[in-house]
Structure 1
Amino acid sequence: MNLKEINVFIKNSVENIYDEIVKVRRKIHMNPELGDEEFQTSKTVKEFLKENNIQFEEIINTGVVATIYNGEGKTVAARADMDALPIFEENNVEYKSIVTGKMHACGHDAHTSIQLGVAKILAENKDKWKGTVRFFFQPAEETDGGAYRMIKAGALNFNGETSKKIDAFFALHMAPEIDLGKIGLKYGKVHATSAMLELIIYGVSAHGALPHKGVDAILIGSKVLEFFQSIISRKIDPREEAVISIGSFKGGETNNVICDKVKMLGTIRTMSAEIRSLIMETIKRDLPKFVESLGGKVEINLKEGYAPVINNDRITEFVEKNIIDLYGKESLEILKEARMDVEDVSYFLNEIDGCFFRLGTRNESKGLIYDLHHPKFNIDEESLKIGMGLQLKNIMEYLK
């Protein structure tokens, strides 16, 4: 097929299964499951694959890897995350979550449904492409990095073999900050890397009227906040992106006792693993001495989070051409700034040349304006068509 024929085929195919995929998306949306609890979602995925004669294997309990073999040729992979969030949904829709306190507030229900639609169309039209396509249905993106665990468990292997290389990787994320019909594309660094921070500061209790007889852990904690910001402002090149955020500061039980213990929880986010390491090493080396100079002691627990998301320039340029060819230049939105939130798709991109792009879902006329992780987040379901179409375009053009 030539370019025009491929585009017509893609748009017609997506239109034909749109209603079916909307039903799948709404079923998943109504039954949200948290990370590593995606048993019903995984069952829905596997039933859909079975109905369409697509081979699959289970991995790390709720994960699924589906593979379509279609003769000699290159190999392409795609990924969809499946987990929901511990949020009470506030949308008034017929497919509202029926699980109290859980909600698909990050669009993973749409990611999974789009990927199932793409798999179905490719499986039914093997005469139009050659090679192999692998689909990763991933648990626990929101929690402890299901992508890393899938890879460690052998998701990239073929029948136990590591010799067959995956040539390209494509993944998407719903984007309520981008208007419906547009696709956001970023070259190079896309998402930050992170680390989790937990501190326990120990002081000495005393009567509130006699503070000089104690060591105020709350006062030390306030100085520690300043210490963190001095790392950002004086240890890091100002041209680098980095932020330390403390989200929890707890200490003391009453109003007339000097606090002897403070617990602080926070995150470190940077655009490179090197800067993250610098910050973590500075905290471990210098913070104990700083706290001791104020009369206290500190326990430090630091844990590395996800790796940074970095798109491959060659594959990103390939996706850019596909967006323009399939949907027109007006549909392309080149993103200039990286996001400081994290995404464990980074682990796939560390192993495979690929591109992670953002699919516009915002529609102000329908009130679809809320950001990710908001209790009123929802998508314009027309975006399912656009997502399926572009993923089909990416895969078919790469494998033609």
Structure 2
Amino acid sequence: MTMIETITIDKLIDSVKDTVVEWRRYLHQNPERSFQEEKTSQFVYEKLESFGNLELSRPTKTSVVGRLVGNRPGRVLALRADMDALPIQEENDFEFVSQNPGIMHACGHDGHTAMLLGAAKVLSQLKDQLCGEVRFLFQHAEEVPPGGAMEMVKAGVLDGVDQVIGLHLASPIPTGRIGVGYGPVSANCDVFTLSINGKGGHSSQPDTAIDPIVISAQVVSNLQSIISRNIATNEKAVVSVTQIHGGSAQNIIPQSVQLNGTVRSFNPKVREEIPKLMERIVKGITEAHGATYDIHYEFGYSSVVNEEILTRQMEELIGEVLGKEFILPLEQGTMMGSEDFSAFSDVVPGCFLMVAAGNEEKGIIYPHHHPKFSVDEASLEHGVKLLVHAPFKLNNKE
């Protein structure tokens, strides 16, 4: 890329940065839950259509794909943004707070969508300078397994794609850094539903009942020994019981109790072993008390694994475009959260980067999925710059 082209690109990025903030605020004000992103996807479609030079499609009901084919031969690079919001009642008080009760962009997907729209607007004006193809993937339903990414892959959105890039805003990291990890950068995430079936009765006569609440308490406590006593200390894994449902009155011992939760891991062998250990514990405790159990265990999102060569190229790009001081090396296992970007990166080489978006002075200190979550909008320009410059670094086959 010539110096003139670089100056032109940076001028175009500067011209859209305020618009990207406006888009982010509009999306934040109008959130939609997973698989229900009808207005969001229509907003994205109409914006892309207005840019020109893009071939648009709707591979699923609430996703959008834009294809920008350059005038020079080269690789095909996919850029992905997720669009769905969460079932959370927002507690922020800024002017663009969510207008949809009980629904909130509490994970930064509004920013992801706005950044990719900004990149699409800039790149659509650079068709003549572009090698190969850029494919813009606006994905639905990242928050709800089995996830929208898998649906999009099945619909063929990666056909012909050579590599894929994803960005995620990160409020725990102060703005001005880009987190770069090699290998696994997110955890496998699996879910379980466990029913403890006892014998109901009167609370004054527990001897005539089989109390599933007492049994469930023992189960919850003993499940923690899986990590502390059955998994190697150099492995990272988490078993979390996040819901307990049982009982209808203070003087009634219920018939059953339901436990729900998640399991996080990195090592595929550990992932396979944990449900076996869980069932062994549950079986032993319930049999000891004369109860029974039913367990449903579902393997969810797999770990996102950053491909080494592509990740090294993106790390170089961060230094070139933003400055070497932006590079924040991430150790493997830093993020125990999960991401269905893995559905893309399991098919083609992928790189998933964390765009720092916290700012204590602005009060942007709350974690993801919190009712007061927000992002420092200054970080949006950093993401746009990476997305715009990436094709010029990655698509040329020479």
Report the 3-state secondary structure (helix = DSSP H, G, I; strand = E; otherwise coil) of the residue aligned with 1:316: helix
Partner of residue 263, structure 2: 268
Q: Spell out the pairing of 1:148-163 with structure 2 (5 A cutoff).
A: 148-157=150-159
What is the alpha-carbon distance in structure 2 between the residues aligned to residue 208 and residue 90 of structure 1? Answer: 40
Aligned residues: 392
Structure 1 residue 272: Cα displacement:
3.0
Question: 2:156 corresponds to which letter in structure 1?
Answer: G
Structure 1 residue 286: Cα displacement:
5.5
What is the alpha-carbon distance in structure 1 between the residues aligned to residue 290 and residue 6 of structure 2? Answer: 69
Q: Spell out the pairing of 1:34-183 with structure 2 (5 A cutoff).
A: 34-53=33-52, 54-70=54-70, 71-144=72-145, 145-157=147-159, 164=160, 166-183=161-178
Residue pair 2:90, 2:103 contacting (<8 A) in 1 also: yes
Matching of residue 333 in structure 1 with residue 334 in structure 2: no
Report the 3-state secondary structure (helix = DSSP H, G, I; strand = E; otherwise coil) of the residue aligned with 1:351: coil
Partner of residue 388, structure 1: 384
Out of 360, 378, 393, the residue aligned to residue 397 of structure 1 is 393
What is the alpha-carbon distance in structure 1 between the residues aligned to residue 108 and residue 289 of structure 2? Answer: 47
Structure 1 residue runs of 5 or longer lacking an equivalent are: 158-163
Residue pair 1:273, 1:307 contacting (<8 A) in 2 also: no
Partner of residue 314, structure 2: 319
What is the alpha-carbon distance in structure 2 between the residues aligned to residue 368 and residue 283 of structure 1? Answer: 38
Out of 202, 213, 218, the residue aligned to residue 218 of structure 1 is 213
Matching of residue 375 in structure 1 with residue 374 in structure 2: no
Moved more, 252-261 or 88-97: 252-261
Question: 1:136 corresponds to which letter in structure 2?
Answer: L
Partner of residue 344, structure 1: 340
Question: 2:213 corresponds to which letter in structure 1?
Answer: I
Report the 3-state secondary structure (helix = DSSP H, G, I; strand = E; otherwise coil) of the residue aligned with 2:73: coil
Residue pair 1:185, 1:332 contacting (<8 A) in 2 also: yes
Residue pair 2:222, 2:281 contacting (<8 A) in 1 also: no
Structure 1 residue 156: Cα displacement:
1.5
Structure 1 residue 195: Cα displacement:
1.3
Matching of residue 294 in structure 1 with residue 289 in structure 2: yes
Partner of residue 357, structure 2: 361
CA deviations 1:23-58 (Å, max 9, x no partner) are: 222221111100111111111111111111211110
Residue pair 1:17, 1:117 contacting (<8 A) in 2 also: yes
Question: 1:360 corresponds to which letter in structure 2?
Answer: A
Could you list the runs of 4 or more consecutive aligned residues of structure 1 that deviate by over 6 angstroms after TM superposition?
none
Structure 1 residue 316: Cα displacement:
1.0
Partner of residue 234, structure 2: 239
Residue pair 2:219, 2:281 contacting (<8 A) in 1 also: no
Aligned CA RMSD, in angstroms, stands at 1.7
Structure 1 residue 7: Cα displacement:
4.3
Structure 1 residue 330: Cα displacement:
1.1
Moved more, 64-73 or 29-38: 64-73
Partner of residue 193, structure 2: 198
Residue pair 2:77, 2:164 contacting (<8 A) in 1 also: yes
Report the 3-state secondary structure (helix = DSSP H, G, I; strand = E; otherwise coil) of the residue aligned with 1:148: helix
CA deviations 1:43-78 (Å, max 9, x no partner) are: 111111111121111012011111111142111111
Question: 1:93 corresponds to which letter in structure 2?
Answer: F
Report the 3-state secondary structure (helix = DSSP H, G, I; strand = E; otherwise coil) of the residue aligned with 1:95: coil
For the structure 1 residues 25 and 209, does the alpha-carbon distance in structure 2 shift closer, same or farther, using more than 3 Å as the test?
closer
For the structure 1 residues 228 and 115, does the alpha-carbon distance in structure 2 shift closer, same or farther, using more than 3 Å as the test?
same
For the structure 1 residues 121 and 235, does the alpha-carbon distance in structure 2 shift closer, same or farther, using more than 3 Å as the test?
same
Residue pair 1:34, 1:85 contacting (<8 A) in 2 also: yes
Moved more, 206-215 or 315-324: 206-215
Report the 3-state secondary structure (helix = DSSP H, G, I; strand = E; otherwise coil) of the residue aligned with 2:263: strand
What is the alpha-carbon distance in structure 2 between the residues aligned to residue 252 and residue 138 of structure 1? Answer: 40
Report the 3-state secondary structure (helix = DSSP H, G, I; strand = E; otherwise coil) of the residue aligned with 2:36: coil
Moved more, 277-286 or 114-123: 277-286
